[in-house]
Structure 1
Amino acid sequence: MAMLALTDDVILPLGIVSNSKKELKLEGIALDDALIITLASSLSTLPLESSSMDTIIGVSKARDFPTAPLLAEMFRVMKPDGKILIHLTELAADLPSDNILSSLKRKILVAGFLELEAIQQQPDAFAGVHSIQVKARKPSWKVGSSFSLKSSKLLPKVQLDDDMDLIDEDTLLTEEDLKKPQLPVVGDCEVASTRKACKNCTCGRAEEEQKVEKLGLTMDQLDNPQSACGSCGLGDAFRCSTCPYKGLPPFKLGEKVSLSDNFLAADI
């Protein structure tokens, strides 16, 4: 089995590598056969072929080890189903160990490893330091591999028998739903143009009659305006002083004079 040991330091104590082997339960791997790379974070790529290592051990005193690019390289050179162990040593006892462990686990998961197992060792009261270990495994499939999906089972067919109780849609309607809608009653003022506005007029005839009363005109004079001189419909500039249409807007003879809503309203 091929094993790779990485560290950010200049040297890597073999005792830590030996303890990491025991933690991973690795048998039959001699330390002399392990490939050791120091100052690993300074490398842009690891000088190894893809899927060439069975086990990778990373050891560092830095709380941010390993970096994301280094983890990606570790994932690349590891064989499918290989094991990884990250060992952070000599961390100060007053550092937030939970935050460091959470950050390390998150980086390992993002790199693509599975089945994370964290081991947080008790601080050394004499030395005032503690260490953290996280184990993980690379998936058993290779990058770029493919496999066929099993066809899903067909859903069972639902058969409806004639004897089954079905809901009658008519029973969902209430008596109110079945009543014929009543059309609104037509007011008297809409029956004929000669009638006066009703008591509760809402069509606007009452307002028109009030305007006519203020002008001193009859409804016939507004509905069918006539002019003896022929100039009454041109506007006040062409009307005489006794013209009954004085003050009204221009209109065409024989056509109903239309009054705006604010015609008799005060300007001030």
Structure 2
Amino acid sequence: MTGLDGIELSSGTKVLLLWAGSQMSANMQNVASTISDKVKGGDDGRIQLEHIDRLLLSAHPNSHFDVVISGLVNPLETKHTTEILGELCRILKPSGNLYMQELALPSTEADNGLRKKDQLPSQLKLSGFVDICEPFEVSLNDDEKLELKQKSDSNEANLYRVTGKKPFYEVGSSSQLKLPFKPKAPAAKVDANVAKVWSLNSSDLMDDEVDLVDEDELLDENDLKKPDPASLKVECGPAKKKACKNCTCGLAEELDKESKSEIPAPAKTSACGNCYLGDAFRCASCPYLGMPAFKPGEKVALSSRQLNADA
């Protein structure tokens, strides 16, 4: 079908050629022979043919091939899954090349299970490849165009080639990062005389020549005077005075007396005007119920005998 134009092959290169479909195409032998002639020579120069559906079962060793060519034979039946691309990245040597051809759509919306052209580079990038080129269309001959029309219902489907490269390091390898760290600032020098002033040990405490300050001498006569309670009251101008919690200056008791004196005693009133005649003339809600009879306007007073319980 398509030629080997643009595929770099040299003597001593180990190449993996993948094909798809139920049977080999007529030109597969010609493609394999052409590749073999270019890579023969040296100890490793050879080509290996393999069906793309058997790739995951082959268990090739890591970094085994220099070049992988896929979709060059039976390209209209070749489809690269994420698993296949990941396996190709594994079996390629570091800096090895991948040449992939696949049927895709140039439009923004895919149909019939075909990918969009822009999805091909993204698929390679997610599989670990680098230096990925933009997909470019591969021309088809008349027989290939007829086969494409029979296998695809879309008139926009084209064959595209994408190339990628495995990174120059092995998959899963690690390397130590040498980060530039700022040197630590030198510690500040401590004056020996200053450190000696703040040092304290047992020998200094036991020395009889050490003069200790008498704490009583730090107080004068004014510090020993008891404050006047009146001076402790807080005057807040026209605002209402308020005693603090656990008041000791007497303000709390003073405010309590003022609040009690401001509450007027409830006046006893009579609805019928006969309360002074005694309980026989008083109703159930009479404020004088239980008190002795009295003259109108007279203040009710109980005798000392009435305040004592009966013997």
Report the TM-score, using the length of structure 2 for normalisation: 0.43
